[in-house]
Amino acid sequence: MAEFDTSHVKNIVLLGHAGSGKTTLAECMLFEAGIINRRGTVYENNTVGDFHPLEHERSNSIFSKLMHTKWRGYKINILDTPGYDDFVGEVLSALRVADTGVLMINASMGVEIGTDIIWEYTEKFKTPMIIAVNRLDDDLSDFDKAVQEAKDHFGNNVTVVQYPRQQGAGFHEIIDVLRMVMYKFKDTGGKPEKLEIPEEEKEKADRLHQELVEAIASNDEGLMEQYFDQGELSEDQMKEGLKKSMIRHELFPLFCLSAERNMGSGRLMGFIDNVCPSANEMPPQQTISGEPLSCEATGAPCIFVYKTITEPHVGDLSFFKVFSGTIKTGMELVNGSNGVIEKINQLFLMEGNKRIPVHELVAGDIGATLKLRNTHINNTLHAKGKKMELPPIQFPSSNMTVCIEPVNKGEEEKVAIALHQLKEEDPTLIIEVSPELKQTLVHCQGDMHLAVAKWKIENFHKVAVKFTRPRIPYRETIRKMAEAHYRHKKQSGGAGQFGEVYLRVEPFYEGMPEPAGLNVRTREIFNLDWGGKLVFYNCIFGGAIDNRFLPSILKGIMEKMHEGPLTGSYVRDVRVSVYDGKMHAVDSNDISFKIAGIMAFKQAFQQADPQIMEPIYQVEVHTPEDLTGAVMGDLQSRRGMVEGMDTEGHFQKIISRVPLAEMYDFSSSLRSISQGRAKFKMHFDCYQPLSYELQKKLMDAYSRIDSEILA
């Protein structure tokens, strides 16, 4: 039987900008509960959470971690997440299975861009939230400023539960306006002494207490009536009101901490136990089919896989939350995505990289299992005979694309295996083998995300790789009509090759009139996979070319459109009319007319005022107001057109259209300009004509490559 039932399991996720103290707080919580007997530090690389060698190297969390602790009859599952937006996939997967978020704010920095980004995700999930102002022992800490920024950014529903009596190096006393007591800590932190609130602080404490009571009462009619009748609410009533308001995402209680000195973590854990909701107190999950799924240990078993990692010599370790029922070792469950039956051979609780075997996990709990061969992130496993597939996590699109290739030739297969494994572990890393660009592309969230992928490939898979600038998917088209003909003739003993084709090319647009002066027999319209159209006319008169050779001519034209005459890019929006030609009774065949079609199309295309089109992306940058000028200058230096600006919260949103060719290093540049305080997203907008100078430059470069190949 499980040690804790569903109502005594609490799942929290630690969130916040890099450096806000999430990993240090997790370490305090484990220490306070006696799970560990010594607190490690990020700087000494000995915390339970940051165990990965890459995290030791960078002194920052890169992957989300699952830990657990026991506190006063409750089990608290702790999900520690990275603070940089490059690792947003780790944050989103942890948020998907948490029942409460603890948003850490650095008291000396206030609300940073990473904090704002994370808050947007919590709003989408409607996660109950606690705000914890940390590092109040820092000489530059400013609690009042941090609180005001939290209210400005997240709304007036941010409600102070605690405030520091002093800040900076002398910080050691916290006044709690829910319990109306003062906690006094020793210099070493740990369990505080409970004291009455000093006389000089009573007025402030009473005012904040009254604000807290009114905020709680205003979100509950029953409590509002009691408040009007009695003029006060009891501590238990306030806790119950806080819980309801948190579940509805209507109140965000704010606490004080110095995680580094272990001051305030015990009180926060007590609040998590007493007030924060268990999974069975949250609204039921909705399945994809719209059915509610109650979190009950007696229900049909159902788990959701939110994370997968590969352990050397062990295999895939799948992390999951039990959304219904009780999961036991030896149980067989059905994968809702593919119908495959998976056997749960082992169950584990996790303590960083340490696995603790257990025999069962109840609804609401989070654990891990090994070797689910056909189950991946976002898959639901459920009892046989049931259909309970849960909605997948929606991961954001990528912001950066690079080409990857092995340093040493012949190791392409090793790279492919490594990339497949990375994709299994990280859904925000998109791998694309592009037939158009003839490159393997890696789409990621930014340069740090890319650096982690490279480290894994080289250290775990032992293959050296390099990243290069990806080719740009240009398009080629024409701007006027042109005609050309080509005779293909080859004699080499026996049957030869002969085919002659006359054709006209024109720029295609919807509603254009039929070809002038030609006898149209048939017309075919092709919607091209890469956008645009090819319209192909058979205007042969008098049997100059047999109909059986028309498909070969079309095949040749289409082949050349796959590798355009100017830069080898796809051709689009062209109308081709084949109106004459010659054939030979013996030597004409399909290959002859295919070659004649290719060459005639190429010649006509080059005479038809050809135009290279480049992809334009809409780029939205969110930046602090003081950096607006620098960001706009950088965009304009990339041939970007700034189309507008708007205000979103405390940030300026700059909307621009920028050629994809200029966006290669924008992620790194923006991080440098803003010191990580700005973010951006981009999506394809349209194709636009390239300037004459840039077109000539591209054509000359392509001609040189062609000449080298022929040589």
Burial of 440 (0-12, 13-18, 19+ CB in 10 A): buried
What pLDDT is recorded for position 112? 83
Domain residue ranges in the chain: 6-281, 285-382, 400-468, 476-608, 612-693
CATH 1.10.645.10 fits domain 612-693: no
What pLDDT is recorded for position 1? 62
pTM across the whole model: 0.89
Q: How far apart are CA 116 and CA 109, in angstroms?
A: 13
- In our burial notation (b when 16+ CB lie closer than 10 A, e otherwise), range 695-710 reads beebeeebeeeeeeee
For CA atoms 622, 625, 627, 628, the dihedral sign is positive
CA distances (Å), 397 to each of 299, 444, 516, 598, in order? 36, 8, 47, 38
Topology at the third CATH level for domain 285-382: Elongation Factor Tu (Ef-tu); domain 3 (2.40.30)
Is it true that 6-281 and 476-608 share their CATH fold?
Answer: no
Hey, what are 568's tokens?
């080898």
What pLDDT is recorded for position 188? 87
Torsion-angle region of 235 (φ positive above 0: left; ψ -120 to 50: alpha; else: beta): alpha
Q: How far apart are CA 711 and CA 705, in angstroms?
A: 10
Of 36, 7, 63, the residue nearest 428 (C-alpha): 63
Residues in the chain, pLDDT under 70: 1, 493-494, 706-711
What pLDDT is recorded for position 710? 43
What pLDDT is recorded for position 450? 94
Of 456, 467, 471, the residue nearest 417 (C-alpha): 456
What pLDDT is recorded for position 54? 87
Percent of the chain surpassing pLDDT 90: 80
- For residues 132 and 13, the answer to whether their CB atoms sit within 8 Å is no
- For residues 251 and 159, the answer to whether their CB atoms sit within 8 Å is yes
Bridge partner residues of 347 (DSSP): 358
How far is CA 118 from its chain centroid?
A: 12
Which of the listed CATH numbers 3.30.70.1560, 3.40.50.150, 1.20.1300.10, 3.30.70.870 matches domain 400-468? 3.30.70.870
| pLDDT digits 0-9 by tens, 570-625 | 999 999 999 999 999 888 999 999 999 999 999 999 999 999 999 999 999 988 88
What pLDDT is recorded for position 495? 74
Q: Where are the beta strands (DSSP E) in 592-661?
A: 610-624, 641-648, 651-659
Q: Which residue has the tokens 């749960």?
A: 344
Domain 476-608 CATH class label: alpha beta
- In our burial notation (b when 16+ CB lie closer than 10 A, e otherwise), range 125-137 reads bebbbbbbbbbbb
Topology at the third CATH level for domain 6-281: Rossmann fold (3.40.50)
Query: How do the residues of the chain divide into helix, strand and coil, expressed in percent and rounded to 5?
Result: 30, 30, 35
